Chains A and B, each alone.
Chain A
Amino acid sequence: MKNMTGKERIANYMYFVVRIATLLSVVMVFFPAFNPGKISGLINKNMSLFTTAIAYDSLVENCVRAFDKGWVSETSFIILFVSCMLLVIGIVGAVAMACMSLGNNKFKKFGNWFGFAGALLQIGGLVGIYVAYTQMAATDRPEKVEPAFATAIWMAYMVLAAIILILLIAIQILLPKVEKSEKFEMLSKYKLFLMFMPFAALTFVFSYLPLYGWRYAFYDYKAGGTLSADNFVGFKWFTMLFESEATRGDIVRVLRNTLAMSGLGIGTSWCAMAFAIFLNEIKSVRVKRFVQTFTTIPNFISWVLVYAIAFSIFSTDGFISNLLVNAGVWESGVNMLMGDDHIWLKMLAWGMWKGIGWSAIIYIAGISGIDQQLYEAATVDGAGRFQKMWHITVPGLTPTYMVLLLMSVAGILSNGMDQYLVFANPTNTHVIEVLDLYVYKLGIEGGSIPLSTMVGMVKSVVSVVLLFGANTISKVVRGESIV
C-alpha cells in the first residue's frame, strides 16, 4: 500500500474513525449500562442490548401481569425486540465492513455496502425503539410500566451510526473505481488477524470482561438492583473485612482453613516424588504398569464421584460399617463422614488418594531422563540402593520439584471449592470452608454480592502477586521463569 493516492490516504484516515466507531458500538452491545432498549421498568436492569435482541423470553419475563391487565400491549415489546435485533444486525454489518476494509480497494468497496446496509438497519432499529417507547409512554399505568427513555445512550448509538454512514459515503466517493478484473485481496497479516479475531473476542468476553464486574465491590448492590452514584460506597466493604467483628472472624477462620489445607498439600508434595522413586525400585514391569495404571484412575473422576466413593465406603451403611456390624464389633453403622475431627488430614488423604498417582507421572518421566551412566558409576563405587536414590535420583528430580513447588505456593489461596463443597456438612463446615467456598456461599447462596466480590478480588490480586513473586524467585535462583 505504498503507492496510495492522496484520496486513498484520506479514505484510510476516515476508515480509522469508522473502525473505532464500530468497535465502540460492538462493546456497547454487551454492557447493560448501554442498553437503549431499556425503555421500561418491566425490563430486567441487567440486560444488555445483546440479550435484549436475542432472548425474547427474558425480555418479557416480568411482563405477564402487565400484559394480562392491559397496562402495556405485547406489540410494543415485539416492536422493541425486533428493533433491538435490527440494531444488533446492523452492528454486525458494520463489523463485516470493518473487517473487509482491511483488504484492497475492491474489498473495501464491497464491504462498504455492508456498512451502508448496517448503518441504515441501526438507524431503523433505533427509530423502532423510539416507537416502542412512545407506545409504552402512552400507558394509563405509568407507575407500573415505568417508561424511561435512555436519551443519552440512544443518541450515542445514533451518532455512531450516522458517523459510519456519512464517512462511508465519503469513502465510497474517494476510493478510485475498481476494474471488473481486479480480485479480492488482503495482506496476509490482516488475513491472519481476522482469522484470530473471533477468538480474541471470545477471550475478551469470557476472561477480561468479568474483571469489569469488580466494580460491584464498590457499590451497595442488591441482586436485581442497579449501580448508580447513590449506592456508591467506595471502600466500605474493604474496610468491613477488617472492622466488622463477624466478617473478620469469618475471614480469619476461612483463611486458617485455606492456609492449613494448602500448607499440608505443599508440605506433602514431595510424596509424589517419593512415590515415583520407590515405584521405580519395583523391577517387575508388569507390577509397575499395574500400579501406575490403577493409581492414576482416581485423578480422572470428579470430586463429586470421589465423595460418592467416600460415601459408599465410610457412611452409615457403607463398606466399613457393614463389615464391622456383621462381625459384631459395632452395634450399628457409623457415618464417618460426619464430625469435624481431623478434617484437614482427611482432606489431605483424599487429595492424595486422588492425585498422587497422577502427580507421580511427571517424576517417573523425569527418572527415565536421568543418565544411566550415573547409576552405573555409583554402583562401581559401591553405592547402595538408598545412596543411589538419595544422591542421584533426588537431585535429578529436584528442578522439576522446585517448579511445581513454586507454582503451588503461588496458588496457595486457590485450592478450588469442589472438594470442600462436596465434603462439607453442618458438622464440619467451620473447619472445611476455604476461601473459594466461602466466596461461593457468601455470594451465590447468601446474595451478598459486593462483599463476596471484594473478597474474591483481594484473593485474585494476592494470587497474581504471589505468582509473580514466585516467578521472580525462580528467575533469580534458576535463571528460568515458570510462567
Chain B
Amino acid sequence: MAKTAQEKLDAKAEKEYYKKHKRAYKLTPGDIVFNILNYTFFIVFTLCCLFPFYYLFINTISSNDLVQKGLINFVPRGINFDNYISLLKADEVGQAFLISFGRTLLGTALMVAASAFVGYVVTKQEMWHRKFWYRFLVITMYFNAGTIPWFLNMSMLGLTNNFMAYIIPGIVAPYNIILVKTYIESIPGELEESAFIDGAGYWKIFREIILPLCKPILATIAIFGAVGHWNSFTDSLILMQGAPELHTLQHKLYTYLNTSSNLSALMNPGASASALEGMMQSALNAKVIKYTISMVSIIPILMVYPFMQRYFEKGIMLGAVKG
C-alpha cells in the first residue's frame, strides 16, 4: 500500500516524538515479561490451530510405509501424490465430491440471487403490506419446528433422497436478506429515482443499478453461503438415508471415520495373529484414506479463505445492524 504524503509526515512526527520521550516509552521489566508471555501464548495457540492441517497434509503426501510406522510427524518424507490420485479415481469419493461441489455452486448461486432480489423488493415502501411480509420472513430466524417435523415435512414434499433437498430449502435465507436490505438502504435513493423517472421498471432498476452496487455484500453472503453448503452434513445424514450416491463429501468422511474406528475397536487381543495383521493393514490403509479425504474436504476451504478474510469484518458488523 502506498503511503500518502500526510501519512509519511505523521510517521515521521511519531518517530521524533518517540525519540524525544524515549524514557517514558522504555519498557519496564514487567512489560517485557508480559510481552514474552503474551507473544508466546498467541504463537503457541496459532500453531495449535495450524499444526493439525500441516500434520494431515504431510501424512497424505508421504510414503505410506513411513506413515504406517508413525514416523511422519514433523517433516514429510518420500513425497508423492498417489493417495490423492487414487482417491479421486475411487468412484464413491469422486461422486461425493461432485455432489458437494454441485450443491455448493448451485445452492450458493440461487441463494445469492434470491437474497439480492428479495432484499431489493423489501426495501420498497410501496409494496402491498410490506411490513407484514417482511416480518413474516424475518421471524422464521427465531423459531424452529425441530428436527423431526422438519424431516417429516421434507419427506412429505418428496425431498428425501433427492438432490434438490440440498438446494431448495436454502434459497430463502432471511439473515442474508436482512444484510442485503440494510446495504441497499445505505445506497443513495437518488440513483434509483432518476432511473425511475426515465421510465425504468423495478426489474430493470434492480438489474442495472442495484445489482452492480451490491457486489460487495453479495460477495460476502456468497462466500459464507458457500462455506455453509460445503460444510453442511446433517441434511445429508438425515434426508439421504436411502440414497448413498447423494451423500456429500462431509457425510462420506463421517462414515469412513466411523468405519475405521470400528475397525480399530475390533482389534482386540483375542483375535489370531494373521487375522489381526490383516485388519491392522486395512485399518492403517484406512487411516491414510481418511487423512486424504479430510484434506480433500479442507483444501477448497483453504483456497477460498484468503478471499473470505476481506469480508469478515464487513459480514460481522453488518450482522449487528438488524431490522
- Chain A residues near B (Cβ < 8 Å): 30-32, 46-48, 50-51, 54-55, 58, 188-193, 195-196, 199-200, 202-203, 205-214, 216, 278-279, 281-282, 287, 290-291, 293-298, 300-305, 307-309, 311-313, 315-317, 319, 321-323, 325-326, 333, 335, 337, 353, 357, 361-362, 365, 385, 414, 417-418, 421-422, 425, 436, 439-440, 443-444, 449, 452-453, 456-457, 459-460, 463-464, 467, 483
- In angstroms, Cα B130 to Cα A196, docked, is 10
- In angstroms, Cα B168 to Cα A202, docked, is 8
Nearest Cβ distance between residue B75 and chain A, in whole angstroms?
A: 13
Nearest Cβ distance between residue A79 and chain B, in whole angstroms?
A: 20
**For B305, what are the chain A residues with a Cβ–Cβ distance below 8 Å?**
297, 300
- In angstroms, Cα B126 to Cα A54, docked, is 37
Cβ-defined contact, A189 with B127, below 8 A: yes
- In angstroms, Cα B298 to Cα A55, docked, is 36
Asked whether A199 and B118 contact (CB < 8 A) given A312-B291, A362-B316, the answer is yes
Is B95 interfacial (CB-CB < 8 Å)? no
- In angstroms, Cα B314 to Cα A278, docked, is 22
Is B176 interfacial (CB-CB < 8 Å)? no
Q: Which of B158, B174, B234 is the one whose CB lies under 8 Å from A51? A: B158
In the complex, which residue of chain B has the Cβ closest to the Cβ of A281? B38
From 95 to 151 in chain B, residues with beta carbon under 8 angstroms from any chain A beta carbon are 114, 117-118, 121-122, 124, 126-130, 133, 136-137, 140, 142-151
Q: Which of A209, A295, A305, A467 is the one whose CB lies under 8 Å from B45? A: A295
- In angstroms, Cα B157 to Cα A47, docked, is 8
Cβ-defined contact, A304 with B257, below 8 A: yes
Main secondary structure, interface of B, reads helix
- In angstroms, Cα B232 to Cα A438, docked, is 20
Interface segment, one of B8-16, B49-57, B209-217? B49-57
Q: Which of A199, A301, A460 is the one whose CB lies under 8 Å from B145? A: A460
Nearest Cβ distance between residue A302 and chain B, in whole angstroms?
A: 4
**For B264, what are the chain A residues with a Cβ–Cβ distance below 8 Å?**
315-316, 335
**For B287, what are the chain A residues with a Cβ–Cβ distance below 8 Å?**
317
Q: Rank and list the top 8 A-B pairs by shortest CB-CB distance, nearest first.
A: A456-B146, A213-B149, A322-B70, A210-B145, A302-B231, A192-B127, A51-B158, A207-B140
Is B79 interfacial (CB-CB < 8 Å)? no
- In angstroms, Cα B314 to Cα A213, docked, is 38
Asked whether A203 and B253 contact (CB < 8 A) given A295-B49, A316-B264, the answer is no
- In angstroms, Cα B164 to Cα A54, docked, is 13
- Chain B residues near A (Cβ < 8 Å): 31, 34-35, 38-39, 41-43, 45-46, 48-50, 52-53, 55-56, 59, 70-71, 73, 114, 117-118, 121-122, 124, 126-130, 133, 136-137, 140, 142-153, 155-158, 168-169, 171-172, 174, 202, 227, 230-234, 238, 250-251, 253-254, 257, 261, 264, 284, 287, 290-291, 293-294, 297-298, 301-302, 305, 308-309, 312-313, 316-317, 320, 322
> A311-B257, A312-B294 are known contacts; what are 7 more A-B pairs with Cβ within 8 Å?
A48-B157, A199-B137, A216-B149, A294-B49, A305-B294, A312-B290, A456-B148
Nearest Cβ distance between residue A49 and chain B, in whole angstroms?
A: 11
- In angstroms, Cα B50 to Cα A348, docked, is 19
- In angstroms, Cα B70 to Cα A417, docked, is 33
Asked whether A210 and B153 contact (CB < 8 A) given A278-B42, A385-B34, the answer is yes
- In angstroms, Cα B123 to Cα A300, docked, is 31
Asked whether A418 and B238 contact (CB < 8 A) given A195-B117, A209-B153, A304-B257, the answer is no
Cβ-defined contact, A297 with B254, below 8 A: no
Cβ-defined contact, B73 with A418, below 8 A: no
Nearest Cβ distance between residue A464 and chain B, in whole angstroms?
A: 5
**For A291, what are the chain B residues with a Cβ–Cβ distance below 8 Å?**
42-43, 45-46
Q: Which of A196, A312, A456 is the one whose CB lies under 8 Å from B122? A: A196
Identify the interface centre among A192, A302, A307: most chain B CB within 10 Å of its CB: A302
- In angstroms, Cα B62 to Cα A144, docked, is 61
- In angstroms, Cα B293 to Cα A309, docked, is 11
In the complex, which residue of chain B has the Cβ closest to the Cβ of A308? B294
Nearest Cβ distance between residue A402 and chain B, in whole angstroms?
A: 13
- In angstroms, Cα B294 to Cα A414, docked, is 27
- In angstroms, Cα B59 to Cα A389, docked, is 43
Nearest Cβ distance between residue B26 and chain A, in whole angstroms?
A: 14
Offer 25 A-B interface pairs, CB within 8 angstroms, sorted by A: A51-B156, A192-B130, A193-B129, A193-B133, A200-B133, A202-B171, A202-B172, A206-B172, A278-B38, A281-B38, A291-B43, A294-B49, A297-B305, A300-B227, A302-B297, A304-B250, A305-B231, A305-B298, A308-B253, A308-B297, A309-B52, A309-B56, A326-B73, A440-B238, A459-B146
